[in-house]
Structure 1
Amino acid sequence: MQVPWSPALEGAAQGRSAILAGSPGRRSSGRIGLSRQIVVGGVRDESECQDEITATISDLLSIPRGFAAAFLRHCQWDPEHLQNEWFSDEGRRIRSAVGLLTTSPAAGRHAITVPTALNDMPLTCAICFDAYAPGEMRSAGCSHYYCHGCWRGYVHVAVTDAGSGCLLLRCPDPPCRVPVVRELVDAVATGADRARYATFVVRSFVEEGTSRYVRWCPGPRCALAVRSRPGSGAYEVACRCNHVFCFRCGEEAHRPSSCDTTRAWVVKSTSEGETAKWVLANTKHCPKCKRAIEKNLGCNHMTCGAPCKHEFCWICLGSWKGHAGGYYRCNVYMANPSEFDEETTRREQAKASLERYLHYYERWCAHGASMKKARQDLDGLQGGGLDRVAEEMGRQPTEMDFLLEAYAQIVEARRVLRWTYAYVYYLDPERDEVKRRFCEYLQGVAEESLERLHRCAERKSDDEEGEAEVAFKFEEYVPKLSNLTRVTRSHFAKLVEGFESGLAEVVS
């Protein structure tokens, strides 16, 4: 579904963005110009959007909103698809699919035109078998009436036990397929059940819709939905909870690494495959039973575990009985070591591969930890720490926004640097050697600029020793830190641009 982006929605989105940028207790923090889009979302926002789309379809087709919502769910919340379906055969096919009558039963006494119609004559409830006066029973839009108490219990069981299946609830009469829609739920259910039902409607809108512009924030303990504006070109978004993620794949923001590379790296860094590779690189197989053995002491005299108990030399893998030397050296001359060449080569290759992986993994983790710490520092400043710093310096808090900009830049730069290591890891070690060297050059320049900025933000000197405390003068510090922020932003923008272009200038 492409969410209709009307001028009204455009204005609403801009208004919500303003709310995010200046939400209570937080000042606006700058971003580093990498097509980052701050996106405002949330259950309430998406509920409003869903209501607006439903109202538009209701007015267009002259049908109750509950039925309009049922049609939209059937069409995966795609209003264009719904309109095509409706006008192709005057709605007969989609009415039948949803469960509404395809022809009006106007000839009958109980022809229903609304999904919450009250009975106009005394009737007996088909569930509790009590008699009710006119106006005390309701219908889902068919000719089957039930009392409010039975409807209330019916809806309660659905929203409690069926979960999102409550949106597919039908008339209690077994042969009847008429849907129970929002208006009827609101008319008969308790407040708690109405709230649960509304939550399932929003979940349906976000999860079942074909829209590429709405999805749940994957941040820990976050229950907000996030919407990206169509045509913005941005695919890294920031939720209200401060979690920044890729709108395409749902992983944490990972520029300049592609979504495919990121998925592969995440799987690799969390899988047991690397454990197996470590075993291959750091163990040898018993020559007799072929079980993997790790050498954990200095002695070369190895004894395989029960029931094998084979004794052999760790260095040459020969039987220990044939050794005349001491326990800590092997003096057996291998006249023809060809039988061990294949295993030795395989082991050395595995060890080299593991060392290469660990080189990038350790740096990926290190920048991740630094990013987390910088994020905590930024949150601390936004949560009141900035006011204390301003007070210490005899300044107004509004004069300290440059410090927030610097820390926001540090957080973002750490994130970018982190994912450059995943990017470089998947370059071919032989074919992409020149590209790898250029990547490392860009990494070095950007990282040097970042470290200079980080030291300055923490009020440390950036001289060669890096230990003398800065004579802290506000008038000198502001332009210095602001300039370092701009320089770092420029370096990282060039780094991202180069990596995402595939380093075409190097290849060509």
Structure 2
Amino acid sequence: MLCSLRRRRARSAAAMDDSDDECCYYYDAVGSDGDGEEEEEEIVLDEDDVGLLDGGAPPPPPEEVEHRAAITKESLAAAQQQDLSMVMNLVNIERHNARALLAHQRWKMERIYDRLGMMGRDALLRDAGVVLPEKSSRSSSMAMAKTKPPRSLAVTCNVCFEEYFPPGSVSAMDCGHCFCNDCWTEYFAAAVSDGSKQIRCMEVQCSAICDEEVVRWLLLGSRSKHPGAVARLDRLLLEAYVDGSDAVRWCPSAPHCGRAIRVDGGERYSEVSCPCGADFCFHCGGDAHSPCPCPMWDKWGAKRRGGSGGEVDNLKWIVANTKSCPKCSKPIEKNGGCNHVRCTCGQHLCYACGEATGKLYMHVCNRYKEEGDGGGVKVDMTAGGRQRQRFMHYYERFEIHIDSYKEEQKKLGPAIDALARRLEADATLPWSGTRDAGWPAAAHRRLLRCRQVLPRSYVLTYYMFGGGAATRREEAAALAAAQNRFEDLQGQLEHHVEVLSKTLAAAARPDMAEIVKTKRDADNLARVVEGLCAGMYRCVHDELLPLLVEPMNISAYHPDGPAMAKEFPPATSRRPA
């Protein structure tokens, strides 16, 4: 094993007197020369050991301050109407003006509440470019559309310059500008055809928003001339809700599932899971990538796609193929999720770095070492050579953990499910028929979650520690201390993940005489890796990110991964959006 926890009961006759026995715990970091296995005693973590590692005890699941809703095409209008109704009642304005106000504030209700209290109603509306009707009475837009001039007066349309006497031939907007219905209709149809999501008055330099009910009413009257215009208008208004909101984002699944995810509370830095199965970062729309910030993840993605001039393709070939045995130099191919590999000659090695290890896999290799740091590997010491070697170190570990995740999901997962069903049906076991019977699946979920976190953590370390992330010079000492702490947590997590992987792989082929011990080991290891994961997130959020010149943030830690968004209920009686 890379590192172990030992429990030693220290008794001193001089210090004991009337005091009780004291349990002392030690954390030992063992070298990687492979000779320590005879000195080490194999121990089993129990519940008392949880919390002794640097990561601390796993915290309770974070309180969900935001509500995540999955909005389908059928429920999109209802979700939009919910926000519109709140603003219409809050500020006492019509639907189209409520839409304009929400669009100006990026559909953030909390911002409208705050600014309404600070600025007042009139200033809030002026800031959003909302023009209220000249009359104080709150008549509907449809009534305004039917406003008619006195019969004795002719109305000249300033677009077509025709005079209109008949009632209902002209329409006026909130600003009071009046044009003939035919000109309004052609103007609205052209705007909708161009994809305008917010149609303003035809008058020169008038910023008033046209009443959408008037727009719909006039377009409905010209269906034969402009077919499909109303349907397109409705679609544009719904798309404007998603595209213009900081709280709503389309699910990035491909092919697209048709859902949009809404996060209340203004929580942009979160990871969400769509009911279609896609997990993604709500802030950038990419794959879930915490504890790595979005800018670093974007750079890494560009580098993997070939930004390094073919270097990535060569590295992919190297990682996808064999490792040489450090003893007999024979090529070795890993055929499972665990990175503790045994050659046919009997030599144990770490598949991540290729170095020899002991039988108990007491080995650490998460830190990048240049020549002269004891790495023992000859590298090109030019500036470009050092950078390529450094990138290879982090890239190999990134890809290895990705591959391990796939193996443990596709191959180990079905075996664990079968084991859980078998154990639950075994009436001779102490947890038969109880909730505890699901321990294999629970431990497997923790394993997969950590396998997702580990590769992302290497992207963070690549950019954070000498890879291009700008940090404050005066914080060099704090950065070095934070780096040491983070890499300690990363190394411990990596080790215990490998142990948990081996434990679950062995449990999938159970020796029923040892199954109780296996359950205890798996439960304790799952708790330990959860605590270490939480410790890494705390270190990133509290110690590393504050040192960056460019402000960055990450999603909060969730032991089970991104929270699933709940389906938003569709409207029972749909009203046009």
**TM value normalised by structure 2:** 0.51
Which of 142, 145, 149 aligns to 1:116? It is 142
> How far off its partner does 1:417 sit?
0.8
Match of 1:180 in 2: 210
Closer, same or farther in 2 for the Cα pair 1:90/1:413, shift >3 Å?
A: closer
Match of 1:312 in 2: none
CA distance in 1, matches of 2:147, 2:100: 26
8 A Cα contact 2:420 2:441, kept in partner: no
Match of 1:162 in 2: 194
> How far off its partner does 1:407 sit?
3.6
CA distance in 2, matches of 1:56, 1:496: 37
Residue by residue over 1:233-263, the C-alpha shift from the partner in whole angstroms, topping out at 9 and shown as x without a partner, is 9734434344444444444333333444434
Q: Which has the higher helix share?
A: 1
CA distance in 1, matches of 2:198, 2:398: 46
Which of 361, 369, 392 aligns to 1:358? It is 392
SS of equivalent residue, structure 2 residue 461: helix
1:422 and 2:447 aligned: no
> How far off its partner does 1:227 sit?
3.7
Match of 2:275 in 1: 240
CA distance in 2, matches of 1:169, 1:47: 19
**What pairs up with 1:80-95 in 2 under 5 angstroms?**
80=113, 81=115, 87-88=121-122, 93=126
- Counterpart of 2:500, as a letter, is L
8 A Cα contact 1:170 1:180, kept in partner: yes
Which of 40, 50, 53 aligns to 2:68? It is 40
> How far off its partner does 1:498 sit?
3.8
Which of 476, 483, 486 aligns to 2:527? It is 486
> How far off its partner does 1:354 sit?
0.9
CA distance in 2, matches of 1:83, 1:183: 30
> How far off its partner does 1:360 sit?
0.6
- Counterpart of 1:42, as a letter, is A
Moved more, 363-372 or 270-279: 270-279
Which of 216, 222, 240 aligns to 1:204? It is 240
- Counterpart of 2:112, as a letter, is P
Which of 260, 265, 269 aligns to 1:230? It is 265
Residue by residue over 1:283-308, the C-alpha shift from the partner in whole angstroms, topping out at 9 and shown as x without a partner, is xxxxxxxxxxxxxxxxxxxxxxxxxx
> How far off its partner does 1:366 sit?
2.1
Residue by residue over 1:405-436, the C-alpha shift from the partner in whole angstroms, topping out at 9 and shown as x without a partner, is 33432232112111221233242499877866
Match of 2:103 in 1: 73
SS of equivalent residue, structure 2 residue 265: coil
Residue by residue over 1:20-66, the C-alpha shift from the partner in whole angstroms, topping out at 9 and shown as x without a partner, is xxxxxxxxxxx996759685233457754543332233224433222
Match of 1:53 in 2: 83
- Of structures 1 and 2, the one with the larger relative CO (CA 8 A, separation 6+) is 2
Closer, same or farther in 2 for the Cα pair 1:473/1:193, shift >3 Å?
A: farther
Closer, same or farther in 2 for the Cα pair 1:60/1:434, shift >3 Å?
A: closer
Which of 237, 243, 262 aligns to 2:297? It is 262
Closer, same or farther in 2 for the Cα pair 1:183/1:380, shift >3 Å?
A: farther
8 A Cα contact 1:100 1:177, kept in partner: no
SS of equivalent residue, structure 2 residue 181: strand
CA distance in 2, matches of 1:54, 1:177: 21
Residue by residue over 1:453-473, the C-alpha shift from the partner in whole angstroms, topping out at 9 and shown as x without a partner, is 33444xx217xxxxx932358
- Counterpart of 1:492, as a letter, is C
Paired residues, number: 384
1:461 and 2:492 aligned: no
8 A Cα contact 1:219 1:243, kept in partner: yes
Match of 2:369 in 1: none
Closer, same or farther in 2 for the Cα pair 1:277/1:387, shift >3 Å?
A: closer
Closer, same or farther in 2 for the Cα pair 1:49/1:82, shift >3 Å?
A: farther
> How far off its partner does 1:208 sit?
3.3
CA distance in 1, matches of 2:264, 2:78: 16
8 A Cα contact 1:393 1:474, kept in partner: no
1:370 and 2:404 aligned: yes
8 A Cα contact 1:53 1:79, kept in partner: no
1:497 and 2:523 aligned: no
CA distance in 1, matches of 2:530, 2:85: 44
Match of 2:287 in 1: 252
CA distance in 1, matches of 2:156, 2:310: 66
8 A Cα contact 2:493 2:532, kept in partner: yes
8 A Cα contact 1:450 1:488, kept in partner: yes
CA distance in 1, matches of 2:235, 2:63: 29
8 A Cα contact 1:36 1:234, kept in partner: no
Match of 2:499 in 1: 452
SS of equivalent residue, structure 2 residue 538: helix
**What pairs up with 1:130-169 in 2 under 5 angstroms?**
143-144=178-179, 146=181, 157-159=190-192, 161-163=193-195, 166-169=196-199
> How far off its partner does 1:115 sit?
2.0
Q: Percent identity?
A: 22
Closer, same or farther in 2 for the Cα pair 1:144/1:370, shift >3 Å?
A: farther
Match of 2:511 in 1: 471
**What pairs up with 1:188-337 in 2 under 5 angstroms?**
188-189=219-220, 196-209=232-245, 211=246, 213-220=247-254, 221=256, 223-230=258-265, 235-270=270-305, 272-273=307-308, 275=310
CA distance in 2, matches of 1:66, 1:74: 12
CA distance in 1, matches of 2:402, 2:395: 10
> How far off its partner does 1:167 sit?
2.2
Closer, same or farther in 2 for the Cα pair 1:369/1:248, shift >3 Å?
A: same
8 A Cα contact 2:290 2:456, kept in partner: yes
Match of 2:442 in 1: 405
8 A Cα contact 1:64 1:114, kept in partner: yes
CA distance in 2, matches of 1:278, 1:367: 18
> How far off its partner does 1:218 sit?
4.3
